[in-house]
Chains A and B, each alone.
Chain A
Amino acid sequence: SQQGEEDPQALSIQEGENATMNCSYKTSINNLQWYRQNSGRGLVHLILIRSNEREKHSGRLRVTLDTSKKSSSLLITASRAADTASYFCAPINQAGTALIFGKGTTLSVSS
């Protein structure tokens, strides 16, 4: 299956703390994408990391990829209440033609 599985399912932290979410997958990938979904909204693309990359940064986001372990992590540093959302990973295998999403990690950041 191309689907990624996010872990944990839910995460609650205080503002200013770091949040780490993990994604595991089963097949060889071409790239892996992370998306965020605020309550009642559509998904928003956060970052794409290619299979030959190990780490990528975008603002307060840091994504790592370990193809040997078939896993990725999303780190949000210095979290804010506005980061409260669900986060999804979408691993894309070599033959994949479309994104398949997992069930996501629900992050709650309290002030």
Chain B
Amino acid sequence: DAGVIQSPRHEVTEMGQEVTLRCKPISGHNSLFWYRQTMMRGLELLIYFNNNVPIDDSGMPEDRFSAKMPNASFSTLKIQPSEPRDSAVYFCASTEGTSGRTDEQFFGPGTRLTVL
């Protein structure tokens, strides 16, 4: 298996533009997680899905952020409009089971977002 796939790997955009990050979890995995990592705040959980259903989105910073998982093999994280403070590395992770608290998480390589 290729592991968790994220695209793009790097994204540079201007403030106010819409940004869409994509994730393909490991085939057969039932849970998917979106994280954001910055030097100041560390690694923050944004949202996670079990069987394509959003379970907890309390980490989503504000309404400018939205995430979808239309099927078991694809998820998107959208920021509209983007702001410079959204600059970070965004990680997607998946687990085989539906218990995010007991299962090993497999991380993708991340998307480095820079908002100018």
Contact = CB atoms under 8 A, between A and B. Distances in A.
Interface of A: 30-31, 33, 35, 40-45, 48, 88, 92-93, 96-104
Contacts, number: 61
B104 A48 contact: yes
B32 to A, nearest CB: 11
A29 B30 CA distance: 23
For A35, A42, A101, which residue has the most chain B Cβ atoms within 10 angstroms? A42
Which bracket fits the contact residues of B?
20 to 34
Contacts of B106: 45
B7 interface: no
A100 B45 CA distance: 7
B55 interface: yes
B42 A103 contact: yes
A41 B45 contact: no
Contacts of B91: 42-43
